[in-house]
Amino acid sequence: MSLATLAPETVPPPARLSPRAIAKLAARALWDELALCPKPGLVSLRDAGAHDDMSARTFVKSLFALRRPFASLAAAGAAAAPFATLRALGMRAEADMLRATGGVNTHRGAIFCVGLLCAAAGRACTIGEAPDDDTLRATLHDVWGAALVAHVAVCSTRSHGGQVAQRHGAGGARAQAARGFPDVFDIALPALRAARAAGAGVRVARLRALLALMARVDDTNVLYRGGEAGLRLVQQRAREASASADILRASEAMHSELVVRRLSPGGCADLLAAALFVDTLQDAPG
């Protein structure tokens, strides 16, 4: 028997994850983002960062409430449901989040980013394609791209991100989605994977991905709280921490400064969670 005959039998098929399995990985990504520490200005298991309206407990309540909505989004994506359906499911997920947290917005941005990626993963797995970077981005573009572009044009002001998008011209989560999440695939994931390839542990690799985002993303949460000056400060401190010989100590110092200044890069946290979801999604058994 020739090697050519054997080869097709030795190539594993693409992962065929169920919507429930996809949702489990999405919730795990939210947990992994929460557990990361030090995380400048952000809520972690250690402290509430620059927030006085939420804690790690609030986030845990939220992520548990989002498991079923994420599964619904993955199932809708598997069926190539129209964007209007995904949007309705996302709004329902927001309601579940707010009910679980007593009205505190912990994961609105993550619902949008991770929820859309759940839908793309559901679609990819249903048609027998591996949910790799290129497939997920192509699925978002091919199935919901036109609707996402139209959605950006109708920017709501009900969220801080929407208000900042109008005031400062920042794109936020909607523009990210319409462009196939470049900050996830072109910034966070390369930084995460490069750090891991260089021998960094899980904590440092994830922190490098977060700092890469903070250094380059026009985070609407920071713009809302600190304006252009606050954003430039966060970006500069993130670049400095990334270049430090002791990234953990530098991140601790940055965390302390952002807490004092009440600056919270929540948009970057959402993008990190999305990157962690994509990363673990590709390692999951089918």
Condensed to tens digits (0 to 9), the pLDDT of residues 80-102 reads 999 999 999 999 999 999 999 99
The tokens for 170 are 């920042």
Condensed to tens digits (0 to 9), the pLDDT of residues 22-42 reads 999 999 999 999 999 999 999
- CATH fold of 16-283, please? Triphosphoribosyl-dephospho-CoA protein (1.10.4200)
Taking alpha carbons only, the member of 70, 77, 188 closest to residue 131 is 77
Q: How far is CA 140 from the centre of its chain?
A: 15
Annotated domain spans of the chain: 16-283
Max CA separation in the chain (angstroms): 70
CA atoms within 13 A of residue 2's CA, in its CB half-sphere: 2
Round to the nearest angstrom and report the end-to-end CA distance of the chain: 29
Rounded-to-integer distance, Cα 197 and Cα 21, Å: 27
User: Higher confidence at residue 83 or residue 171?
Assistant: 83
Rounded-to-integer distance, Cα 69 and Cα 7, Å: 40
User: DSSP class of residue 80?
Assistant: T
pLDDT at 116 over 90: yes
What confidence category does residue 9 fall into, taking pLDDT thresholds of 50, 70 and 90? very low
The one-letter amino acid at 52: D
Query: What is residue 171's three-state secondary structure?
Result: coil
What confidence category does residue 11 fall into, taking pLDDT thresholds of 50, 70 and 90? very low
Residues 6+ apart with CB under 8 A from 201: none
**Residue 271 contacts residue 191 (beta carbons within 8 Å):** no
Long-range contacts of 22-25 (CB under 8 A, 24+ apart): 22/70, 22/71, 22/74, 22/118, 22/121, 22/122, 22/125, 22/281, 23/67, 23/68, 23/69, 23/70, 23/71, 23/73, 23/74, 23/118, 24/67, 25/277, 25/280, 25/281, 25/284
**Residue 283 contacts residue 254 (beta carbons within 8 Å):** no
Q: How far is CA 80 from the centre of its chain?
A: 22
Mean pLDDT (the chain) is 90
pLDDT at 106: 95
Q: What pTM was computed for the model?
A: 0.90
Rounded-to-integer distance, Cα 173 and Cα 156, Å: 12
Calculate the CA dihedral of residues 159, 165, 168, 170 and round it to 10 degrees: 120
Rounded-to-integer distance, Cα 228 and Cα 83, Å: 33
Condensed to tens digits (0 to 9), the pLDDT of residues 172-226 reads 667 777 788 999 999 999 999 999 999 999 999 999 999 999 999 999 999 999 9
Phi, psi of 69 (to 5 degrees): -60, -40
